Amino acid sequence: MRKFTLALSLLVALLSMNKAMAQSTELGILIGPSIYSGDMSPQEVGLYFQEINLAGGAFARFNLNQSLALRLGFNVTKVSGDDSRNGLASRGLNFNSSIAELALTGEVNLFRLWAYDDRGVIPYIYGGAAVFHFNPKATFDGDNVELQPLGTEGQGLPGYDEPYKLTQLAIPLGVGLKILLNSNLTLGLEFGGRKLFTDYLDDISNTEVNYFDVLEGNGELAARLSNPNLVDPSPDNATYRRGGDYKDWYYIGGVSLSFRLQGSGRGMGSGRGIGCPTF
């Protein structure tokens, strides 16, 4: 919560900036798909249509000049993974998690294509910082069970990591297109990933785990969900790694529509006057 409080304070500060900033401010909404990549993905880079979920959000764009803009956005989505759908049924793991994200990113307008009056197309790249909240759960015996409190990889036990935090930092990186419809409306297309600093978005890492440690220290449910397909645990098969080499990411793409606040100037952030050639 402290990180969200800090981010909200930043939002208030940005909205209170001087009149020059307010003269080129846009408000917008975004809707599109999200997808997860991590320990439940057979490949680090792949498109698994069964794991696509819906994302949505709202943002404010503060245009600093023709080339640069700051954007503060809030997005909500869901991510999921299931071994039974991704060719890893022998492991037997699954997860789903809602995500709430507050991100501050910088946009760099690259050049403008097909310029005509207030119209044109502007490719851009973006990057910045985000704080997000997640809460991985697993479907087990008909229930959706929260995984972080259980310690499925021995979290909190001697010799194991501490429980992971459910609020974390991330680095958003992506590309997009701004399609200038007129002096007030901009249609956007974008796609970007989030570089995470946790490998527990899916509650799975590459940590070596002992089934009996989890059973004795964190309970039967934690042990069952740690390795659902371990039917007859013994000293010979009790030590395992649940995850692999792939670090967790989540991706959000979609279509956005933004409008200029009444009375603000279009020129600062529209891309008009960008020093690159137009076509």
pLDDT band at 36 (very low <50, low <70, confident <90, very high): very high
Q: Where are the domains of the chain?
A: 2-260
Fold of the domain built from segment(s) 2-260: Porin (2.40.160)
Question: Of 96, 77, 110, which Cα lies nearest the Cα of 38?
Answer: 96
What distance in Å separates the CA atoms of residue 94 and residue 88, rounded to the nearest whole number? 10
Tens digit of pLDDT for each residue in 172-206?
Answer: 999 999 999 988 899 999 999 999 999 999 999 99
Nearest to 7 by CA among 160, 149, 183, 130: 130
pTM of the full structure: 0.84
107 φ/ψ angles, rounded to the nearest 5 degrees: -110, 135
Residue 180 in contact with residue 271, Cβ under 8 Å?
yes
Q: Closest by alpha carbon to 109, among 97, 98, 120, 94?
A: 120
Give the lowest-confidence range in 9-18, 19-28, 114-123: 9-18
